[in-house]
Amino acid sequence: MERQNIKSYESTNIRTAWNEQEEEWYFSVVDVCQVLTESVDATAYWRKLKQRLKNEGNETVTNCHALKMKATDGKMRKTDCATTEQLFRIIQSIPSKKAEPFKQWLALVGKERIDEIVADMNAILSMTNYALNGEIISADSMQVYRYMDIGSAKIKPEEMAGVPHHLVDVLEPTVDFNVVMFQKYAKQAMEQIYSKGKVPILVGGTGFYIQSVLYDIDFAQNDEDTKLRRELEDLAREKGAKFLHNMLKECDPKAAEEIHANNIKRVIRAIEYNRQTGGKISEHNEAERQKESPYASCYFVLTDERARLYKNIDKRVDVMLEEGLVDEVKQLLDLGCKRESTAMQGLGYKEIISYLLDEITLDEAVYLIKRDTRHFAKRQLTWFRRERDVIWVEKDKFAYDDQKMLEYMIECFGEKTEK
């Protein structure tokens, strides 16, 4: 963040200073403790809190007393200071009702930096008192892979603002990942989160992944790598994805409508299910969707005006190219990823592979990425419209004000948990 973009913190009485050497904003922890707890002796409160954190083994936070300011702001020289990441951890440790809205804000806007938010602390503190106190589980089929940062628009560590993110950067890109594995890993992450007394927050656009957890879909009859599956994979390589998709149309037309021809893995699983059971996977999935969710949940879907959405998609693709998408794909191929690997089926990756193999020009690859991403966004909306109990958050109706959207979601969450 550019230094000139930092807002004034005078209204919150939290002293800050800019560390020129580290190019980082530092905050007075004592001031934060005073604002969030209204403690008369905030210095003593911070001393006790620091000892408690040390006893819990949180050395990253307890070491913040050693961060003496190198900046010229004399106000900060004799007080304990914290960086933005440390500040988040400290705030999470403050057992104060007044701190709860700030915690939930940070949990839901994980991509926001603390130093952008603290300036508006007074407004945040007046928000509704429903504290999510959650951790995020990524429901994204590509962000699970290491080294796939640009093409998957993966959240950066510094953007997480200290909020734990599960199922990000956990698998090598040479490993096949599917909905059965996601469901297993997500449930494990949820147990860890529940054990801390926190709320799991599934975030991502892979609707089938979210559905698999929310409705506890049974994959018992379709989770083994069978001889039939290998035969179908060979057939796809020999005759192409369209040929395999036509096979699905013959045995399960509804599934063929729902599954794109390029999603070879799901096409194969659908055909395999039909051959193994004699039934249709579309009917099986519909029956699973009718199950009552075992969770008290709120299912939010953010959407935008189509023209604006498509414009943002085009811009995002351009940014990916500028950030080095081509080099990222080269690196993945050097690491041993094959064209047919699950990881390489993601939007942006397969098109750049075609470019690197001289099958198309770079301009053609960019055109295909933008076009296919727009088509994918349309299919996503179609998917979510079929889901039950979805709460639509139309960004234009909130004037693109993140705080208003957040307040609305917290209100919905509070109503649901009170029932």
CA distance 263 to 244: 10
Q: 220-289 domain in CATH 1.10.20.140?
A: yes
User: What would the 3-class secondary structure string for the chain be?
Assistant: CCHHHCCCCHHHCCCEEEECCCCEEEEEHHHHHHHHHCCCCHHHHHHHHHHHHHHCCCHHHHHHHHCCCCCCCHHHCCCCEECHHHHHHHHHCCCCHHHHHHHHHHHHCCCCCHHHHHHHHHHHHCCCCCCCCEEEEECCCCCCECCCCCCCCCCCHHHCCCCCEECCCCECCCCCCCHHHHHHHHHHHHHHHHHCCCEEEEECCCHHHHHHHHCCCCCHHHCCCCHHHHHHHHHHHHHCHHHHHHHHHHHCHHHHHHCCCCCHHHHHHHHHHHHHHCCCHHHHHHHHHCCCCCCCCCEEEEECCHHHHHHHHHHHHHHHHHHCHHHHHHHHHHCCCCCCCHHHHCCCHHHHHHHHCCCCCHHHHHHHHHHHHHHHHHHHHHHHHHCCCEEEEEHHHHCCCHHHHHHHHHHHHHHHHHC
Indicate the CATH number of 134-217+292-418 among 3.40.47.10, 3.40.50.300, 3.40.50.1700, 3.10.20.600: 3.40.50.300
Residues 109, 112, 118, 124, Cα dihedral to 10°: -20
CA distance 309 to 301: 14
- How far is it between the farthest Cα atoms of the chain? 77
Q: What is the pLDDT along the chain (419 residues), one digit of tens a residue?
A: 333 333 333 445 566 666 666 666 677 777 777 777 767 677 788 878 877 777 776 665 655 555 444 444 445 554 567 766 677 677 777 776 656 655 554 544 433 344 444 444 433 333 322 345 678 899 999 999 999 999 998 988 777 767 788 999 999 999 989 888 999 999 999 999 888 877 888 888 888 899 899 888 887 655 555 778 888 888 888 888 889 999 999 999 999 988 888 788 889 888 988 888 888 888 887 787 777 788 888 888 888 899 999 999 999 999 999 999 999 999 999 999 999 888 999 999 999 999 999 999 999 999 999 999 999 888 888 888 888 889 998 989 999 887 788 778 878 877 776 65
Q: Domain extents for the chain?
A: 3-96, 134-217+292-418, 220-289
